[in-house]
Homo-oligomer: A and B are copies of this chain.
Amino acid sequence: MSGHGILYGVGVGPGDSELVTLKAYRILQATRHVAYFAKQGKTGNARRIAGPHLREDHQTLRLEYPFTTEIPVDDADYQPAMDRFYDAAAARVARHLAAGQDVAVLCEGDPFFYGSYMYLHQRLARDFSSEIVPGVPGMSGCWALAGTPITQRDDVLTVLPGTLPAEALRRRLADSDAAVIMKVGRNLPAIRAALAEVGALERAILVERGTMPGERVVRLTELGDDRRVPYFSIVLVPGCRGLQ
């Protein structure tokens, strides 16, 4: 691997450009080639967060997702199309690495926590040196913004997608002290019902666009029934032991 560039997976945190670590900042200053994922027609969250830290002489590789709308993961066409996209994205990054150029991949939140970076890592880490710079996850930004401790002592925390079937959602919430529910969007009515069934609705908090422009924190009990919320909203269910 000598003579090759280094692949950096750089967590840029939940949204506020100041929630980038000193290490991420140093690596971005020292790395000319910066890659990021973005949806068609969008700036890309990671790119927007890192924006104030990039200079004009940074060379950016925009890795643009092939879909403009969310396709369900269980759709038969989804996975093959995504695999081809990640293969092509990895090949673009690999050309720079093979030419001896380091590449920093910008990752919203933390690179190894529900991030797209790992699809590049899988494809490239065997052939190239890599380093992960962990970042503040989106959920940490959300509970800081909400002013709500999420866990303490021996609390069990479950992080789960709101896309789960209602019964699975209910069972897992019943078995957790604290929970973070991601991918809320149109699943909100089912999430709300599950929380009510297990007696956790009163303490549930919805965070939209945590630490980003347009951020909003509201108790689920104060949210109108017909209110539509963005897909990437998060519901926080703080642990309740000992904080009475």
Report the bound CA distance from A183 to B152 in whole Å. Answer: 13
- Given known contacts A147-B130, A153-B73, A19 and B25 CB-to-CB distance under 8 angstroms: no
Report the bound CA distance from A96 to B133 in whole Å. Answer: 36
* Binary CB contact string for chain A from 24 to 36 against chain B (1 if under 8 A, 0 otherwise): 0110000000000
Give the contacts of A1-49 with B (CB-CB under 8 A): 11, 13-14, 16-23, 25-26
Please tell me if A172 contacts chain B, counting CB pairs below 8 Å. Answer: yes
A22 touches B25 (CB 8 A): yes
B152 touches A118 (CB 8 A): yes
Please tell me if A87 contacts chain B, counting CB pairs below 8 Å. Answer: no
B160 touches A156 (CB 8 A): yes
Please tell me if A110 contacts chain B, counting CB pairs below 8 Å. Answer: yes
* Binary CB contact string for chain A from 197 to 225 against chain B (1 if under 8 A, 0 otherwise): 00000000000000000000000000000
Copies of the protein in its oligomer: 2
Please tell me if A127 contacts chain B, counting CB pairs below 8 Å. Answer: no
* Binary CB contact string for chain A from 147 to 158 against chain B (1 if under 8 A, 0 otherwise): 111111111111
> What would be 27 A-B contacts, judged by CB atoms less than 8 Å apart?
A14-B134, A18-B22, A19-B23, A20-B21, A22-B22, A73-B154, A111-B149, A112-B140, A112-B148, A114-B151, A118-B149, A118-B152, A118-B243, A125-B147, A134-B136, A134-B141, A135-B136, A136-B136, A137-B137, A154-B161, A156-B159, A156-B164, A156-B172, A158-B158, A158-B159, A158-B176, A159-B159
Q: Which residues of A contact B (CB under 8 A)?
A: 11, 13-14, 16-23, 25-26, 73, 110-115, 118, 121-122, 125, 130, 132-137, 140-141, 143-145, 147-161, 163-164, 172, 175-176, 183, 243
